[in-house]
Amino acid sequence: MDAGCRITQTMRLRDIDYTLYLVTDRGLSRGRSTAEIVEAAVHGGATCVQLREKDCTTREFVEQARAIRDRLQALNTPLIINDRIDVALAVKADGVHLGQSDMPLELARAIVADTMLIGISAESIRDAVEAEKGGADYLGVSPIYATPTKTDTAPPLGLEGLRQIRAAVNLPLVGIGGLNHDNVGDVIRIGAEGVAVVTAIVAADDPEQAARSLRSVIEKARQP
């Protein structure tokens, strides 16, 4: 890839819209396929999708990621892979999201260079500041509230914790953890660029309508 292509790719990735960031969870899908839920959510207003798989083989992960990538490319929506840089590279995803116990940011950046985004989970101001210094592209600030979908997290930050991180860094912030129709507006009003949701869409009776409703709340919260 020549320098011009790298610059174009980097600029395109920096323009990603984090407004409504769907994180998948096969265990909450109520028998529906992840691809089905993803497509419905994007039609309803989801702007970014993170594929999270903890209990399948690498081959299954790659096959599912490739299929979802193809659907999302047709919908002009970015795909981010949770944890697995190898899978992200294999399917040419738009990015990878890393937690505090995953591969260190500097090693991940050395591997992917500018070919994809790297998002970092920030559970404290220190996490956020170090990630910004290390070259992260965005932060998943978590958990805002307690959530049953992830039990290996730090104590909830609450809105005040999010406010403090917003004041400490300039990176795009995506709030995650216990977010739903009733509280996503608060996260946006604090200054986050987006909200990440799992249960509120994946487990909904109608994922498309759930996404549409969440997007409406978000857009209203952005109004002066």
Residue numbers annotated as active site: 52, 121, 150
Residues 6+ apart with CB under 8 A from 50: 21, 22, 23, 24, 79, 80, 81, 82, 97, 196
The residue written with tokens 């977010």 in the block is: 179
Query: For 75, what's the count of Cα atoms within 13 Å in the CB-facing half-sphere?
Result: 22
Rounded to 5 degrees, φ, ψ at 156 are -55, 140
Angstrom distance (rounded) from CA 89 to CA 62: 10
State how far the alpha carbon of 192 is from the alpha carbons of 84, 139, 151, 166, 222, in Å: 25, 10, 23, 7, 10
Residues 6+ apart with CB under 8 A from 120: 97, 98, 99, 100, 105, 127, 131, 134, 136, 138, 139, 140
Longest dimension (CA), the chain: 47
Tokens read off for 161: 């914790």
